[in-house]
Amino acid sequence: MRLGKYEIGKTLGHGNFGKVKFAIDFETQQPFAVKELDKTKIIDLNITHQFKREIYTLKLLKHPNIVRLHEVLASKSKIYMVLEYVNGGELFDTISSKGRLSETQGRKIFQQLLDGVSYCHRKGVYHRDLKLENILIDANGNVKITDFGLSALPDHFRDDGLLHTTCGSPNYVAPEVLANRGYDGAASDIWSCGVILFVILTGSLPFDDRNLSVLYHKILKGEIHLPKWLSPGAKNLIRRILDPNPKSRITMASIKMDDWFRKDYHPVYLEDEEDTHMTNEALSFSMHEVPSYLEEKCSESPTTINAFQLIGMSSCLDLSGFFEKEDISEKKIRFTTNQYSTKEDIFKQMEFLVTEMGFLIHRKDGRLKVMREMERGENGSVTTILSISAKVFEISPSLYVVELKKLHGDSSSFRQLCKSLSSDLGIPPGITRDDITSSVL
């Protein structure tokens, strides 16, 4: 199967809403993992916010211990997240097949896990679903954190400065999350990291029971039984992390100062990292700047539309807010047409229509600029009263998206022009609206 520049291969795994498949960029031969999501399921289950949150977060987090999102593509029924390929599988599979790890191996994994999680926290992102299944291991034994669908961002905090959504996996969830009185995202993530450390060093869960009520009771009490063969340093750190009281639980900074943790520790230093939290304004700006693939390249071939643009056409799955703070409906309108064989045919028909309406046109680099001017004053000065740009994207053969963007002028005039063009471009070339009216009569 071909998906844009990617050749899709075997299935790597299954999720709740689709499959994860192996893919190769046939231009560079670089491997990727493509997460295939069913758009209908996302809408029907009302989880568009979860899907958007994962993209929102992954496009912003750039750390060697976090899975990188490279691109998002879409068809009419599917959405494809092109992710970094991690060929070592889940940490869960490693523990299931090998059993517990040595303290040296476990410490290295835990150090990298803490590096990735603390980076998220510095950026104002809290994972909230850390577990063995969401920790991938590459061929070199390095950690890659994935699945940010339940992550919390700055705007999820209430006025009390706490999170209130109960979420996570039962065996890994912190007691304060279960108490349903609000919780600190950093402290709850640290608890989950402690559960992971316990599992990789002992091969079993610290809190487990088939009955959820019994399991939650155990978690709330926070009583753990540590094997005698664990080193005193490992025991001490696990106890301090799995403290049921979030106020006295060890912090991320203190973990990194712990003697057991610091042994053979090689922290990751990111030269371009800013130590500020990601505010809503910063997030909006970053998402506007990050996806360079949104830029149209000058080419005679039809431009391919990507997921952010295609999804933007759907009010049920609108990602346009990631890129502009203003109401996009006032500045940009998109519509589809299947009445034309080529992009060139659409441009020619559009030029004909707007010229008939009295507009001036200028075409360059795959775009059409449409202007209406008016003379003012005794000196003959000319004022532009409306200016728009038009682009055409190919979704599939004979199916195109026309994008009209207001550059200058009155919004009502812009909407009126867009309404006229969207209506007229839906008519097959060579047929006028008068022809349709007369045939109906």
Beta bridge mates, 20: 13, 35
185 closest CA partner among 249, 146, 240, 128 = 128
CA distance 385 to 412: 12
Q: Could you identify the residue written with the tokens 């009419």?
A: 76
CA distance 285 to 272: 17
55: three-class secondary structure by DSSP: helix
Residue with tokens 């004979």: 398
Give the residue from 155, 156, 144, 172 showing the smallest Cα distance to 68: 144
Neighbours of 6 (CB within 10 A): 21
Q: Are 403 and 332 in contact (CB under 8 A)?
A: yes
Task: With beta carbons less than 8 A apart as the criterion, state whether 181 and 154 touch.
Answer: no
Look up residue 247 and give its amino acid: K
Whether 419 and 334 have beta carbons less than 8 Å apart is answered as: no
Per the annotation, the verdict on 129 as an active-site residue is yes
- Give the span between the Cα atoms of 101 and 90, in whole angstroms: 14
Strands 381-396 and 303-304: parallel
Is 35 annotated in a binding site? The answer is yes
SS3 category, 191: helix
Supply the Cα-derived Rg of the chain in whole angstroms.
Answer: 27
DSSP category for residue 288: H
Active-site residue among 44, 93, 115, 129? 129
**What letter represents residue 280's amino acid?**
N
User: Which residues, at least 6 apart from 43, have a Cβ–Cβ distance to it below 8 Å?
Assistant: 316, 317
User: Which residues have C-beta within 8 Å of that of residue 307, sequence separation ≥ 6?
Assistant: 72, 73, 74, 79, 80, 319
Instruction: In whole angstroms, give the CA distance from residue 148 to residue 168.
Output: 11
3-state secondary structure of 19: strand
Angstrom distance (rounded) from CA 133 to CA 404: 44
Binding-site annotation: residue ranges: 35
Binding-site annotation: residue ranges for ATP: 35
Q: Catalytic residue positions? A: 129
